[in-house]
Structure 1
Amino acid sequence: MSNILIINAHHYYPFAEGKLNGTLVQMADELLTADGHQTKIVEVDKGWDVDQELENHQWADIILLQTPVNWMGVPWSFKKYMDEVYTAGMGGALCNGDGRTEEAPKANYGNGGTLQGKKYLLSLTFNAPEEAFNNPDEYLFRGGSVDDLLFPMHMNFRFFGMEALNTFACYDVMKNPQVEQDFQRFRAHLAAQIPTA
């Protein structure tokens, strides 16, 4: 059995109400608890308590971050969450500073994480089509992958000593949604990445 913290990082807009991200969070909760795992859900748009979030991160064996990709990154409200919660965790709850020492101020940056052995999974929703990635002929990403684009998020979790599970993504969710296929892929992805307890 694993303890799994599910973070819904969606920020409400009239043109993007968050139904898809909310449904994926609900699906993850139902599937994971049915498989014998313990879950907690945090909805960033509803606010947060910093101390509770630090406890949640320490409690969790796995953090599942469910987020839309807005302007090539996470929503601003989740960035604020990170600024507040992750900064508060610098004193040992998430990491012991940045890993450097006075004796070696140029070495080991980012090596101070205290969450070794824990894992994280990024689950993303994109307006971009899947074909925009991993293709050097496409203008914007120039052959880059989804994980290349989300490199800063990977580095945030790595800063805490965590290891990545394979990323999941729903593509083209506004102009050409394939919701049922996405749900089927999501079920299979969770089963493969987070086996039954």
Structure 2
Amino acid sequence: MKKVLILNGHQYYKGPANGELTGHIIEKAKEFFSKNGFEVKYTHIEKGYDVKEECEKFQWADYVLLQYPVYWMGVPWITKKYFDESFTQGVHYESDGRSRNDASKRYGSGGLLKGKKYMLSLTYNCPTSEFSAKDGFFDGLSLDEANIATHKIFQFCGLKPLETYSVHDIFKGDLDLDSELKKFESVLSKNFL
């Protein structure tokens, strides 16, 4: 049986960030994985966690799905804190990968979670048109390039990326939730089946 760890990286702010959209996406993910025979573990970071237990979940999981709203071009601070605590105190890497005896071993190659994969699921106020556009806010960076810091967290520990899902213009007022959840499920199917 395939095993997936779902991380809810949302951080609540009354008004602009109540968490409903993240909640819908998480529920769709749980439904998808349950329907397709996955064993699921779940952490809602904002509600608290035990570092040792989280480290064990990463060892247990074949896959990790991280859903979060992009705040100020990155993960919410509690999600960064989660990684700082769980990965720094965990056993996800022996070293940064380098070796005094073997110059071929490069920085970032010491991850102990090799063979595992992860997926980012992002919610943005930013429109999709700002990515991969030379005159866009992100100076021509793709969605994944603009989220490189989060990707590098997982890469440092040895995980490989799956296709990223994102929903944009969430404050515009015309979000079609059913359509977005169908797109999300399509990306889940592509990544996990």
TM superposition shift of 1:107: 5.2
Alignment of 1:158 onto 2:159? no
Displacement after TM superposition at 1:6 (Å):
0.2
CA distance in 1, matches of 2:49, 2:57: 11
Which of residues 110, 113, 117 is equivalent to 2:111?
113
- C-alpha distance in structure 2 between counterparts of 1:73 and 1:106, whole Å: 32
Aligned residue number for residue 120 of structure 2: 122
AA aligned to 2:20 is: K
Match of 2:187 in 1: 189
Identity across matched positions, percent: 40
Paired residues, number:
191
* Aligned-pair CA distance for 1:145: 1.0
Per the TM alignment, residue 106 of structure 1 is displaced from its structure 2 partner at its CA by 9.5
Deviations 1:140-196 (A, max 9, x none): 11121110111011111111111100000010111242322211101111111111x
One-letter identity of the residue aligned with 2:179: Q
The two structures have a TM-score, normalised by structure 1, of 0.93
SS in 2 for 1:41: strand
Asked if residue 6 in structure 1 is aligned to residue 3 in structure 2, the reply is: no
**In structure 1, distance between residues paired with 2:81 and 2:143:** 22
Give the Cα–Cα distance (whole angstroms) in 1 for the partners of residues 180 and 162 of structure 2.
Answer: 18
**Is 1:76 aligned to residue 77 of structure 2?**
yes
Superposed CA RMSD in Å reads: 1.4
Q: Which piece of structure 1 moves more, 21-30 or 169-178? A: 169-178
TM-score by length of 2: 0.95
Give structure 2 stretches of 5+ with no counterpart.
Answer: none
Give per-residue Cα distances to partners, 1:107-126, cap 9 Å, x unaligned.
Answer: 51111011111000000000
Q: How far 1:137 sits from its partner (Å)? A: 2.4
Deviations 1:51-109 (A, max 9, x none): 000000000000000011000000000011111111012xxx21112112243589511
Amino acid at match of 2:167: C
The CA distance in 1 between the partners of 2:23 and 2:48, in whole Å, is 16
Q: Tell which deviates more after alignment, 156-165 or 105-114.
A: 105-114
Match of 1:63 in 2: 64
